[in-house]
Amino acid sequence: MTKASPLPDYNFAYLDEGTKRMIRRAVLKAIAIPGYQVPFASREMPMPYGWGTGGVQVTASIIGPTDVLKVIDQGADDTINAVSIRSFFQKTAAVQTTTHTNEASIIQTRHRIPETPLRADQILVYQVPIPEPLRFLEPRETETRTMHALEEYGLMHVKLYEDIARHDHIATTYAYPVKVAGRYVMDPSPIPKFDNPKMDRSPALQLFGAGREKRIYALPPFIEVKSLDFEDHPFSIQRFDKPCALCGAEGVYLDEVITDDRGGRMFVCSDTDHCQSRLTQGQGPTGPLASSGEEAGR
């Protein structure tokens, strides 16, 4: 090798300032047109497409040295990809990180919204795999853009109606489409529909980054976000029969953990920070810790 070190020194938060400016422009446009997908010149990142490159680019463009970053995947701070993205920002931006929702100024997430209500001084950055809510009804971008432009969302309602006709339920349980401020139908990223109501009129700014698909969209604070439904089939969220087996929390989203090969299961908080905080505060399960042997289906 003739080159002493072929690899360059990276800029603060990896992206060069020109790229950050370009992304911030897209973010501003997205905030100005809530729910509209703004095309942006997504960069190739040192992590694979589909693994959070959109969220990482948005976070990298808005983060400053005084920010406190939290990264979650499936609600947890310690899932491998969350660990990897957090250490990426520790390495490239040397920012303070946290696992506590209320300490973070920026929260990057994949597939969940924290249980703790967010504040106006916080930004939630979603990683988005497929930003187009109409994609599975119409694969062509040229078509879906026209459909959005004409506010032509009949196809989506037909799909939801067909679900009801077939299953008596709307069979979409995550990435449940929403309408933003009565205009754009938007994909909330693959969060469980349990989390959809948290988006509505949230005081926090919510930004969505899709790196591979090169789109950014946003929900400005306090914007109306309505999950699509019908008058006679109103939107409803998942309910769990039992509280969290560890901290006893109710009305939160639970992960099912298989405890043995005889049908034993326990249900615990998907939001690990929420669970930990409650345990630290001395909260605990009301019933036996592990409801092993419980019948599947409960």
Q: Could you list the residues that contact another protein (CB under 8 A)?
A: 1-3, 6-8, 10, 16, 39-46, 48-51, 53, 73-76, 78-81, 83-84, 87, 110-112, 129, 140-142, 165, 167-169, 171, 173-175, 190-194, 212, 214, 238, 246, 253-257, 259, 268, 270, 272, 296-297
Q: Shortest gap between Cβ of 119 and another protein (angstroms)?
A: 23
Which CB atom, from 113 or from 223, has the smaller least distance to another protein? 113
Among the listed residues 52, 209, 275, 284, the single catalytic one is 275
Rounded to 5 degrees, what are φ and ψ at 186?
-130, 145
In this structure, what token pair is assigned to residue 38?
Answer: 């703004």
CB of 53 or CB of 206, closer to another protein: 53
Q: Is 244 a catalytic residue?
A: yes
CB of 8 to another protein, least distance (A): 6
Q: Which residues pair with 217 in a beta bridge?
A: 208
Query: In terms of CB distance, is 177 or 223 closer to another protein?
Result: 177
d(CA 129, CA 55): 10
Q: Is 269 considered catalytic here?
A: yes
Could you tell me the smallest distance in angstroms from the CB atom of residue 89 to another protein?
14
Closest CA to 178 of 145, 201, 150: 201
CA 71 to chain centre: 11
The two three-digit tokens of residue 35, written as one number: 């729910």
Is 182 known to be catalytic? Answer: no
Which residue among the candidates 75, 209, 211, 247 is catalytic per the annotation?
A: 247
Torsions phi, psi for 220 (to 5 deg) = -65, 160
Token pair recorded at residue 264: 């034993």
Say which of 18, 251, 269, 297 is annotated catalytic: 269
Question: How far is 268 from 219, CA to CA, in rounded Å?
Answer: 30
Query: Least CB distance from residue 222 to another protein, whole Å?
Result: 26
Q: Which of 18, 35, 50, 209 is catalytic?
A: 35
DSSP result, 249-282 = --SS-EEEEE-SSSS-EEEEES-HHHHHHHHHTT
Active site residues: 35, 244, 247, 269, 275
